C-alpha cells in the first residue's frame, strides 16, 4: 500500500465526535407498532380527532406497503416490532425562558455546540431543539412573532394553529407516498412548524436541531414550512445521535409549500452516528423531503450528509407554477461502511420552469455512494430547463461511487443537460500542497473541501464553516 | 548552504541520477542545463521530497539532512520548488492556499501565524513583483490559468514563502518573451544574500534575464561540466552534443573562463 493510500485510510477513520449519550429521565412506550400505539401517541399529544384519523389512515396504508428495495443499499432487515415509537424526556417542558430548560439537556446542547444560550443571540439563529421525539424549546419566539412568523414545535402548531396544519399537512407528501412516509405519518412524534405570512422576509435564519438520545427508539419528525405569497425564509436543520452498537431508525418527512413568488431555502447538515468501521451500529436514515413551488416561487435544498449508516433521501421539488425554480446542492460523504443512496427529483409541471442539481459524492474507506436523481418534464412544461452536475470523488480503492440519473421528458421544448465526473485526489495535488508546507492531512482536507466548494457556497455563512469543519473531522485520522 | 554529494535516484530498475555533486553557497544562483531526460527535474524532485524515487547519497541544507525529511518538513526548512507543471486544485481559493502555505511553515518553525489583514499586505507586495491583479487571488489555485499565469503564480508563492533555497524547474517553458521578462524580474527582485537559487532550464534564453553565478551541465544523471555564465553561451551555440555520449576528455576546445564551483 502506498503512503497516500494508508494516509487516506487513516484520514477517513475518524472517531465520531458526538457519540456521548445524556442520562435523561425518559418516558418510553413499549416496543412494537399497532393501532393502539398510534392512538397512544395521539392521546399523549392531546390531538384533535381529525389528526388521529389521519394517522390511522396512514397506518392502514403502511400495513399494505413494502419497504422499497430499488436503492443500491445493503440493509439488514429492520424489525419494526422491536422499535419503540414514543420516547420523551419525562419532565415535559413548558418553558418561558432558556433558564428553565433541563440543565442536562442544556449541557448536551452545549456539547453539541448548539446556540441555545443568550450569547448566541448575536448569531441571529432561532432554534427549535428536538430531543428524541419531543421539541424541547424554541428560542426567539418573540422576535419572530413581531414579524408575524410562526415558528414552533409541530405539537404546539397542532394546538395553536390547527387550521394551518390541517390545510397543508400531507399536501406535498401524501400518507401513501412511500413506505417510510406512511410510517412517519402514522407515528410522527413531533417536529417543527413554520409559517411565513404574505410579503414577510423572515428576520433571521430558522434552525432545528435533532438529536436521538434514547436507546431502541425510532425518531419520526415531521417538518412543515408554509411560505405565503412574496415571503422568504432560510431554514437549517442539524442532526446528531449518540454512539450505540445497534442501529436506530430515523424516518422523517419534510414538506415545503412556497406560494406565489415565495422563496424557501432549506439547508441540512446531517451528522447522525455513522456506525463504526466494521459497520456496527449507526442510524438508518430514511427521509422524504419535498417542496411544492407555485408561480415564480423558488425552493432550494442544500444538504451536507456526513453521517448515518444508511442514507435514503431525495429532497425534491414539484415545479408546479410557471417560472418556478428548484435547486438541489448536495455533498454526501460515505466512509467506513456507510452507504448513501441520495439525490433529488425535479418534477417540471409549469411552463418556463428551471431546475439545477449540483451533487458532490465523496467515497472513502468501504463507503458506497450513489447519486440517484429524476428529472421529469411533463407535457405542460413548455421551455423547461434543467442542468445537472454530478461529481464523484474516490478516496482509496475499497469504496464505490455510482450515478443513476433518470430523465423523463414529455415536452419537446425542454432543455436538459447532464454532466458527470469521477476523480480521485491526485498524488500530484498532495505533493504540491506538501511542498508548500502543508501536512498530508491538511492538504487532503483542503482538496476535499475545494471539491465541495460550489455546495458550501450555498450554505448560510456560519453553517458553511460548520460543514467544512465536519467534513475535515470526518476525514481526520489523528482524532481517532 | 546546500551540499549535495554522490546523490543517486532511481525509479524501479531505472537509475536516473548517478552520483550528483553540487555545492551552493549563500546568495548564489546556479543554473542547471541539460538535454531532455538527463535528470534535471528528478534532481529538483529529489531535493523537494517527491515520493516514488529510491534516493541515496547526501543532501543537506544548512547542515540539516534533507533526505530524512517529509516534503512539508523540507518546506519548513526553507526549500521551495517552482513546478514545471503547477498543479490545479479546483475550488480552493488561491489566497486561502497561499496563506495556509505560509502559516503552515511558520507554525512548523514555531513562529506566530499571519492574520488575514497582514497577509493581504504580504500578498499585495508579492503580486506587484509579478504584475498580477487582485482577482488572481480569488480564483481557484491554477484552475483555468494560462501557462504564463501558472508560472507567475509559482513566483508569487515564492515571494510569499521567502524560501532559503528556491529550485525553479523550467520556469521559462511555455512562456512568451513578455511573460519571461515579468517572471525574471520577479525572480531577480527576490535574489538576496540569504537566498540561493537553482534555476533549471533547457535554454540559455532565461539566463539572459536571470544571470547565474554558476552554470552546470547535467547529462546522464551527473554534472559533467561546470562554469560561469559563458558556459551557457557556449551551449547556446553548440548544443549539448559536446557532452552527450562523449567522453569529456574528447570534448572540443572552448575558452575556459570562470572557476567551477
Instruction: Give A226-263 pLDDT, tens digit per residue.
Output: 999 999 999 988 765 555 566 778 899 999 999 999 99
Chain B hits for A437, Cβ within 8 Å: 72, 75-76, 101-102, 104-105, 108, 161
When the pLDDT of each residue in chain A is averaged and rounded to a whole number, the result is 82
Positive/negative CA dihedral, A101, A105, A107, A109: negative
Check residue A269 and give its pLDDT. Answer: 84
Tell me the CA distances in angstroms from B176 to A58, B88, B126, B142, one per residue in order.
72, 21, 21, 18
For the CA atoms of B81, B108, A447, A444, what is the dihedral angle to 10 degrees?
110
Q: Which residues contact A273 (CB under 8 A, 6 or more apart)?
A: A16, A18, A19, A240, A241, A242, A243, A244, A248, A281, A282, A283, A307, A308, A309
Chain B hits for A431, Cβ within 8 Å: 50-51, 71, 87
Check residue B5 and give its pLDDT. Answer: 96
Mind listing the pLDDT tens digit for each residue in B75-117? 999 999 999 999 999 999 999 999 999 999 999 999 999 988 8
Confidence tier at B255 by pLDDT (50, 70, 90):
very low
- Section B200-210 average pLDDT: 88
**Angstrom distance (rounded) from CA A87 to CA A142:** 29
Mind listing the pLDDT tens digit for each residue in A9-59? 554 555 555 555 555 555 677 788 899 989 988 998 899 999 999 999 999
- B2-87+165-250 topology per CATH: Rossmann fold (3.40.50)
Closest CA to A437 of B27, B118, B11, B113: B113
Chain B hits for A447, Cβ within 8 Å: 89, 92
Q: Which three cell numbers stand for residue B12?
A: 524501479
Burial A293-304 (b: 16+ CB within 10 A, else e): bbbbbbbbbbbb
Q: Answer whether residue B253 shows pLDDT above 60.
A: no
A250, containing H or E segment: strand A247-258
Contact predicate A291/A264, CB 8 Å: yes
Contact predicate B232/B258, CB 8 Å: no
- Section A171-186 average pLDDT: 95
A45, containing H or E segment: none
Confidence tier at A117 by pLDDT (50, 70, 90):
very low
**Closest in A431, A437, A454 to B108, CB measured:** A437
**More confidently predicted of A447 and A478:** A447
Interface with chain B: mutation pick from A329, A435, A444, highest number of B CBs within 10 Å: A435
Cβ separation B48–A435 shorter than 8 A? yes
Q: Answer whether residue A106 shows pLDDT above 70.
A: no
| Residue A120 to chain B, least CA–CA distance (Å) | 24
A408, containing H or E segment: strand A400-409
Chain B contact for A442 (CB, 8 A cutoff): yes
Check residue A79 and give its pLDDT. Answer: 86
Q: Residues of chain A with pLDDT > 90: what percent?
A: 47
Cβ separation A438–B161 shorter than 8 A? no
Q: Report yes or no on A90 lying in a domain.
A: yes
Check residue A420 and give its pLDDT. Answer: 92
Confidence tier at A127 by pLDDT (50, 70, 90):
low
Check residue A460 and give its pLDDT. Answer: 79
Interface with chain B: mutation pick from A1, A331, A436, A443, highest number of B CBs within 10 Å: A436
**Closest in A2, A435, A447 to B75, CB measured:** A435
**More confidently predicted of B34 and A355:** A355
**Angstrom distance (rounded) from CA A357 to CA A6:** 33
Mind listing the pLDDT tens digit for each residue in B142-153? 998 988 899 999
B110, with CB counted inside 10 A (0-12, 13-18, 19+), is exposed
Check residue A89 and give its pLDDT. Answer: 53
| Residue B104 to chain A, least CA–CA distance (Å) | 5
Check residue A102 and give its pLDDT. Answer: 58
Check residue A16 and give its pLDDT. Answer: 58
DSSP 3-state percent helix, strand, coil across chain A (nearest 5):
25, 35, 40
Contact predicate A306/A366, CB 8 Å: no
Q: Report yes or no on A155 lying in a domain.
A: yes
**Angstrom distance (rounded) from CA A347 to CA A342:** 16
Contact predicate A82/A65, CB 8 Å: no
A350, with CB counted inside 10 A (0-12, 13-18, 19+), is buried
Q: Residues of chain B with pLDDT > 90: what percent?
A: 70
Cβ separation B75–A426 shorter than 8 A? no
B68, with CB counted inside 10 A (0-12, 13-18, 19+), is exposed
Which residue do the cell numbers 519548513 mark? B76
Q: Which three cell numbers stand for residue B109?
A: 518553525
Q: Answer whether residue A95 shows pLDDT above 50.
A: no
A433 → chain B, closest CA residue = B101
* Domain layout of chain B by residue ranges: 2-87+165-250
Name the pairing type of β-strands A247-258 and A368-377. Answer: unpaired
Q: Which three cell numbers stand for residue A294?
A: 407555485
Chain B contact for A3 (CB, 8 A cutoff): yes
Name the pairing type of β-strands A125-131 and A87-89. Answer: unpaired
**More confidently predicted of A399 and A207:** A399
Contact predicate A333/A306, CB 8 Å: yes
A38, with CB counted inside 10 A (0-12, 13-18, 19+), is buried
Q: Within a 10 A sphere around the Cβ of A417, how many other Cβ atoms?
A: 11
**Closest in B51, B72, B74 to A427, CB measured:** B51
Q: Report yes or no on A41 lying in a domain.
A: yes
Q: Answer whether residue B53 shows pLDDT above 50.
A: yes
DSSP state of A77: P
Contact predicate A20/A111, CB 8 Å: yes
Check residue A336 and give its pLDDT. Answer: 84
Positive/negative CA dihedral, A157, A158, A159, A162: positive
Structural domain of A441: 3-474
**Angstrom distance (rounded) from CA A202 to CA A235:** 10
Closest CA to B22 of B49, B40, B36: B40
**Closest in A437, A438, A453 to B91, CB measured:** A453
Chain A contact for B111 (CB, 8 A cutoff): no
Q: Which residues contact A92 (CB under 8 A, 6 or more apart)?
A: A134
Q: Which three cell numbers stand for residue A158?
A: 397542532
Contact predicate A84/A30, CB 8 Å: yes
Highest mean pLDDT among A3-7, A92-96, B45-49: B45-49
- Section B177-185 average pLDDT: 90
When the pLDDT of each residue in chain B is averaged and rounded to a whole number, the result is 89
- Based on its alpha-carbon atoms, the radius of gyration of chain A, rounded to whole angstroms, reads 22
3-state secondary structure string across chain B: CEEEEEEEEEECCEEEEEEEEEEECCCCEEEEECCCCCCHHHHHHHHHCCCCCEEEEEEEECCEEHHHCCHHHHHHHCEEEECCCCCCEEEEEHHHHHHHHHHHHHHHCCCCCCCHHHHHHHHHHHHHHCCCCHHHCCCEECCCCCHHHHHHHHHHHHHHHCCCEEEEECCCCCCCHHHHHHHHHHHHHCCECCEEEEEEECCCHHHHHCCCCEEEEEECCEEEEEECHHHHHHHHHHCCCCCCCCCHHHCCCCCCCCCCC
Q: Answer whether residue A107 shows pLDDT above 80.
A: no
Contact predicate B111/B196, CB 8 Å: no
Chain A hits for B72, Cβ within 8 Å: 434-435, 437-440
Q: Which three cell numbers stand for residue A472?
A: 475535515
Q: Answer whether residue A92 shows pLDDT above 50.
A: no
A423 → chain B, closest CA residue = B90
Chain A hits for B88, Cβ within 8 Å: 429
ipTM value > 0.85? yes
**More confidently predicted of B246 and A305:** A305
- Length, in residues, of chain A: 480
**Closest in B91, B140, B157 to A436, CB measured:** B157
Q: Report yes or no on A480 lying in a domain.
A: no
Contact predicate A376/A411, CB 8 Å: no
Q: Report yes or no on A465 lying in a domain.
A: yes
**Angstrom distance (rounded) from CA A294 to CA A261:** 7
Check residue B36 and give its pLDDT. Answer: 86
Give strand pairing partners of B20: B7
**More confidently predicted of B237 and A177:** A177
Closest CA to B24 of B53, B61, B56: B61
Q: Within a 10 A sphere around the Cβ of B222, how many other Cβ atoms?
A: 17
Check residue A344 and give its pLDDT. Answer: 96
Which residue do the cell numbers 455563512 mark? A461
**More confidently predicted of A478 and A396:** A396
Chain A hits for B49, Cβ within 8 Å: 434-435
Contact predicate B219/B248, CB 8 Å: no
B68, containing H or E segment: none
Contact predicate A134/A88, CB 8 Å: yes
Confidence tier at A112 by pLDDT (50, 70, 90):
low
Single pTM value for the model: 0.80
Q: Which residues contact B241 (CB under 8 A, 6 or more apart)?
A: none
Check residue B134 and give its pLDDT. Answer: 83
Chain A contact for B81 (CB, 8 A cutoff): yes
Check residue A80 and give its pLDDT. Answer: 87
* Lowest-confidence pick of A443-452, A471-480, B212-221, B239-248: A471-480
Q: Which three cell numbers stand for residue B243?
A: 557532452
Closest CA to A252 of A285, A276, A279, A275: A285
**Angstrom distance (rounded) from CA A200 to CA A144:** 11
Confidence tier at B234 by pLDDT (50, 70, 90):
confident
- Section A129-134 average pLDDT: 56
Chain A contact for B159 (CB, 8 A cutoff): no
Count of structural domains within chain A: 1
- Section A453-473 average pLDDT: 80
Mind listing the pLDDT tens digit for each residue in A405-429? 999 999 999 999 999 999 888 889 9
Q: In 3-state terms, what secondary structure has residue A76? A: coil
Check residue A42 and give its pLDDT. Answer: 92
Amino acid at each position: 500500500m502506498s503512503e497516500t493510500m494508508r494516509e487516506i485510510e487513516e484520514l477517513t477513520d475518524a472517531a465520531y465526535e458526538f457519540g456521548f449519550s445524556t442520562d435523561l429521565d425518559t418516558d418510553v412506550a413499549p416496543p412494537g407498532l399497532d393501532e393502539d400505539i398510534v392512538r397512544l401517541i395521539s392521546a399523549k399529544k392531546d390531538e384533535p380527532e381529525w389528526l388521529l384519523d389521519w394517522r390511522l389512515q396512514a397506518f392502514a396504508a403502511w400495513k399494505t406497503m413494502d419497504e422499497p428495495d430499488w436503492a443500491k443499499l445493503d440493509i439488514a432487515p429492520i424489525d419494526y416490532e422491536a422499535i419503540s415509537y414514543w420516547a420523551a424526556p419525562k419532565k415535559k417542558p413548558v418553558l418561558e425562558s432558556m433558564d428553565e430548560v433541563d440543565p442536562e439537556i442544556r449541557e448536551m446542547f452545549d456539547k453539541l455546540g448548539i446556540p441555545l444560550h443568550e450569547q448566541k443571540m448575536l448569531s441571529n439563529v432561532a432554534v427549535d431543539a428536538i430531543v428524541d421525539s419531543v421539541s424541547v424549546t424554541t428560542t426567539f419566539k418573540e422576535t419572530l412573532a413581531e414579524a408575524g412568523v410562526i415558528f414552533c414545535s409541530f405539537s404546539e402548531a397542532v394546538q395553536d394553529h390547527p387550521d394551518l396544519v390541517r390545510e397543508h399537512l400531507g399536501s406535498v407528501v401524501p400518507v401513501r407516498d412511500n413506505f417510510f412516509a406512511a410510517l412517519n405519518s402514522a407515528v410522527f412524534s413531533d417536529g417543527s412548524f413554520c409559517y411565513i405570512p404574505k410579503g414577510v422576509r423572515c428576520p433571521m435564519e430558522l434552525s432545528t436541531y435533532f438529536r436521538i438520545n434514547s436507546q431502541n427508539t425510532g425518531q419520526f419528525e415531521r417538518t412543515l414550512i408554509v411560505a405565503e405569497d412574496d415571503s422568504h425564509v432560510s431554514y437549517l436543520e442539524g442532526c446528531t445521535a449518540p454512539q450505540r452498537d445497534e442501529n436506530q431508525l430515523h424516518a422523517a418527512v419534510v414538506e415545503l409549500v412556497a406560494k406565489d413568488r415565495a422563496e424557501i431555502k432549506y439547508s441540512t447538515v446531517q451528522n447522525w452516528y455513522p456506525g463504526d468501521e466494521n459497520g456496527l451500529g449507526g442510524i438508518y436514515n430514511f427521509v422524504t423531503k419535498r417542496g411544492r413551488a407555485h408561480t415564480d416561487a423558488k425552493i432550494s435544498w442544500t444538504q451536507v450528509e456526513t453521517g448515518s449508516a444508511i442514507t435514503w433521501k431525495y429532497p425534491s421539488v414539484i415545479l408546479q407554477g410557471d417560472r418556478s425554480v428548484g435547486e438541489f446542492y448536495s455533498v454526501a460523504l460515505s466512509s467506513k461502511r456507510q452507504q448513501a443512496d441520495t439525490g433529488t427529483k425535479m418534477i417540471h409541471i409549469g411552463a418556463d420552469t428551471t431546475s439545477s442539481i449540483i451533487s458532490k459524492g465523496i467515497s472513502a474507506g468501504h463507503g458506497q455512494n450513489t447519486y440517484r436523481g429524476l428529472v421529469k418534464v411533463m407535457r405542460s412544461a413548455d421551455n423547461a430547463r434543467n442542468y445537472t452536475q454530478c461529481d464523484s470523488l474516490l478516496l482509496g480503492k475499497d469504496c464505490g461511487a455510482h450515478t443513476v440519473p433518470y430523465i423523463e421528458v414529455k415536452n419537446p421544448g425542454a432543455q436538459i443537460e447532464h454532466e458527470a465526473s469521477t476523480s480521485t485526489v491526485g498524488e500530484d495535488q498532495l505533493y504540491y500542497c506538501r511542498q508548500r508546507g502543508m501536512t498530508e492531512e491538511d492538504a487532503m482536507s483542503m482538496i476535499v473541501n475545494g471539491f465541495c466548494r460550489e455546495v458550501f457556497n450555498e450554505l448560510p455563512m456560519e453553517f458553511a464553516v460548520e460543514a467544512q469543519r465536519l467534513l475535515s473531522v470526518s476525514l481526520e485520522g489523528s482524532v481517532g | 548552504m546546500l551540499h549535495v554529494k554522490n546523490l543517486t535516484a532511481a525509479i524501479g530498475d531505472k537509475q536516473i541520477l548517478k552520483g550528483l555533486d553540487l555545492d551552493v553557497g549563500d546568495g548564489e544562483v546556479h543554473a542547471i542545463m541539460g538535454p531532455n531526460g538527463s535528470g534535471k527535474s528528478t534532481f529538483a524532485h529529489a531535493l523537494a521530497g517527491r515520493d516514488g524515487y529510491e534516493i541515496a547519497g547526501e543532501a543537506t541544507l544548512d547542515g540539516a539532512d534533507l533526505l530524512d525529511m517529509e516534503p512539508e518538513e523540507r518546506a519548513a526548512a526553507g526549500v521551495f520548488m517552482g513546478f514545471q507543471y503547477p498543479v490545479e486544485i479546483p475550488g480552493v481559493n488561491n489566497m486561502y492556499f497561499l496563506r495556509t502555505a505560509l502559516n503552515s511553515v511558520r507554525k512548523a518553525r514555531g513562529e506566530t501565524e499571519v492574520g488575514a489583514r497582514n497577509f493581504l499586505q504580504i500578498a499585495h507586495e508579492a503580486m506587484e513583483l509579478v504584475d498580477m491583479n487582485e482577482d488572481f487571488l480569488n480564483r481557484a489555485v491554477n484552475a483555468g490559468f494560462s501557462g504564463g499565469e501558472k508560472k507567475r503564480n509559482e513566483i508569487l508563492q515564492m515571494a510569499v514563502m521567502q524560501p532559503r533555497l528556491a529550485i525553479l524547474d523550467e520556469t521559462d517553458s511555455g512562456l512568451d518573451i513578455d511573460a519571461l521578462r515579468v517572471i525574471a524580474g520577479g525572480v531577480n527582485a527576490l535574489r538576496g544574500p540569504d537566498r540561493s537559487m537553482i534555476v533549471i532550464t533547457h535554454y540559455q534564453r532565461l539566463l539572459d534575464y536571470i544571470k547565474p553565478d554558476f552554470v552546470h551541465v547535467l547529462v546522464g544523471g551527473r554534472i559533467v561540466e561546470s562554469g560561469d555564465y559563458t558556459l551557457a553561451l557556449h551551449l547556446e551555440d553548440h548544443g549539448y552534443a559536446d557532452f552527450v555520449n562523449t567522453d569529456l576528455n574528447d570534448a572540443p576546445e572552448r575558452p575556459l573562463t570562470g572557476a567551477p564551483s
